[in-house]
Amino acid sequence: MTAGPAEAIVDVHGELVPRCADLFIAVFNGPPWNESWTAGSASERLAEITGTPGFAGVALAAGNDVTGIALGQAERWHTGRIFCLREMFVLPGLQHQGRGSRLLAAICERVPDAAGHYLLTDRGTPAQAFYEKHGYAEARARIMMTRRVTPAHQ
């Protein structure tokens, strides 16, 4: 399937989330991510994102087939509204054909009052190169910090 007039950008709504979960699993359980999402955990993640105040989401769909999704939320910052792109993904066999660019443009149109956009992605991945191509740059003023938590009686 190539990007074409049969595929349309649609707003993500509750009924679309189960189809988004299947696509989420197909993307993130394969390379380069190689994660271990289940139908339950993927659905829960997407429900959490779609239930967040300021949510905006778009999907690329042709009939009942969803081929790509972009989800995020507008947030208040001291200088105004900013937008966090939480997840964006396209079916692996359909990547590198303009779908991601269409989704990114569409999600940005949904948050016209956002003075800035940010996201997290893995360093050195095709995703990093994609976002850099679209004007995103590594933040120099901020860092991401993590802490691993393990159960005390494991």
**How much of the chain exceeds pLDDT 70, in percent?**
95
* Model pLDDT, residue 107: 97
Number of domains in the chain: 1
Query: What is the C-alpha to C-alpha distance for residues 43 and 19, in angstroms, rounded to an integer?
Result: 9
In a domain, 130, yes or no: no
Whole-Å CA distances, 111 to 55, 102, 120, 132:
10, 15, 18, 20
Q: What are phi and psi of 9, to 5 degrees?
A: -80, 125
Per this entry, what is the length of the chain?
154
- 134 located within any domain: no
The model carries a pTM of 0.89
Per-residue pLDDT, 153:
54
In a domain, 81, yes or no: yes
Using an 8 Å Cβ cutoff, are 24 and 87 in contact?
Answer: yes
CATH code, domain with 69: 3.40.630.30
pLDDT, mean over the chain:
91
Is residue 72 a part of any domain in this protein?
yes
Residue 149 counted as domain residue: no
Helix (H/G/I), strand (E/B), else coil: 52:
coil
Average pLDDT (124-140) is 94
- Flag whether 136 is in a domain: no
Q: Is residue 69 part of a domain?
A: yes
For residue 143, tell me if it sits in a domain.
no
Domain that holds residue 79: 8-120
